[in-house]
Amino acid sequence: MPLLIKGRAIVEDRWTLLRDATSLADVSGETAVIVPLALWKSQHETLFARKDVGVWLKPDDDPGALVADIDSLPLIAIDFPKFVDGRGYSSARLLRDKYRFGGELRAIGDVLRDQLYYLRQCGFDAFAVRADRNFADAIGGLDDFSDNYQSTSARPVPLFRRRNGATADDGKLPPT
C-alpha cells in the first residue's frame, strides 16, 4: 500500500487514486477511490450513493463545482502536476474558507517537502508526497516556519491580531 502523510504521521493510504477513470467500469470492484471531477459530475448519483468515493481536482477545475456535495464528501484531492503551479493553493483555500469543506483535503502530484508548510496553511491536511522521496524527511517541511503573518485556512487569525496578545482568539492550527 502506498504511503501518505496524514496530519503529521506517515500512514498507509487506503484510498486508490484513479487518475484516468472515465466511466463507471473503471470504478467498479474498487473500494475507496478518488475519481476525477468529470466522472464525479457525469455519474453523480451512483458515485454519491457509494460513500467511499472522493474527488480529485485539476488545477483549473472549479472547486465551486463541489459545493452541493461538500458536507458529504469524505475526501477531496487537488493535483499539482508541477509544484510551481500554484493554483491548487487557492482551490484549497476556497474549499476550506468559502465552502467550509471539513473532510480530508489531500495534495497529490508533484508534492515535495519544501511546499508542505504553505500547503498546510492553505488547508491541506494530507500530503501524497512524491513516491521517490523520503517521507520522514518531508514531514520536517511542516515545521519550516513556526507562524505566519497572514490570515490562513489553518491559522485564520493573522499575526497582527495576536502579536501583543491583545485581541487574540483562536489563531492556532487545529489539532492533528
Partner 1 sequence: MGEQNQTSAHQDAYAEEFPKIRDCPALYQFLLNKSLFIPLRPKEAPLYSKSSSPTERDNVYKYDHIDQRFVDERVAQFRDQTRRFLAGELTEDEFRPLRLQNGLYIQKYAPMLRVAIPYGLLSTTQLRKLAHIGRKYDRGYGHFTTRQNIQFNWPRLEDVPDILAELASVEMHAIQTSGNCVRNITSDHFAGVAGDELVDPRPYAELFRQWSTFHPEFAYLPRKFKIAVSGSPNDRAATLVHDIGVHAVRNADGDVGFRVLLGGGMGRTPIIGHVIRDFLPRQEVLNYFDAILRIYNRFGRRDNIYKARIKILVKEMTLPVFAGHVEAEWERLRGGAGTVPDEEIERLASFFEPPPYEKLSGDDAGFRSAVADNRAFGNWVKRNVFPHKVPGYAVVTLSLKKTGVPPGDATSDQMDAVADLADAYSFGELRVSHEQNLIFTDVRQKELLALWSELKALGFATPNIGLLTDIICCPGGDFCSLANAKSIPIAEAIQRRFDDLDYLHDIGELDLNISGCMNACGHHHVGNIGVLGVDKNGEEWYQVSIGGDQGEAASLGKVIGPSFAAQEMPDVVSRLIDVYVEKRHEDERFVDTVRRLGLEPFKERVYASAH
Report how far residue 143's alpha carbon sits from residue 104's, in angstroms, rounded to the nearest whole number: 20
At 25 the three-state DSSP class reads: helix
Q: What is the CA radius of gyration of the chain?
A: 17
Phi (first) and psi of residue 149, to 5 degrees: -70, -35
Q: Mask of contacts with partner 1, 62-101, x by CB under 8 A?
A: ---------------------xxxxx-xxx-xx---x---
Nearest CA to 38 out of 23, 53, 27 is that of 23
Q: Which of residues 98-137 bind partner 1 (CB under 8 A)?
A: 98, 112, 114-115, 117-122
Question: By rule CB under 8 A, what count of residues binds partner 1?
Answer: 53
Piece of 15-23, 33-41, 44-52, 167-175 that binds partner 1 (CB under 8 A)? 167-175
Q: Mask of contacts with partner 1, 4-43, x by CB under 8 A?
A: ---xx-----------------------------------
Q: Mask of contacts with partner 1, 146-165, x by CB under 8 A?
A: xxxxxxx---xxxxxxxxxx
CA angle 25-28-30, nearest 5°? 135
Judged by phi (left if over 0) then psi (alpha if -120 to 50, else beta), residue 85 lies in beta
As measured in angstroms, the least distance from the Cβ of 166 to partner 1 is: 7
Piece of 25-33, 43-51, 71-79, 166-174 that binds partner 1 (CB under 8 A)? 166-174
Nearest CA to 4 out of 34, 40, 37 is that of 34
Residues binding partner 1 (CB under 8 A): 7-8, 83-87, 89-91, 93-94, 98, 112, 114-115, 117-122, 142-152, 156-173, 175-176
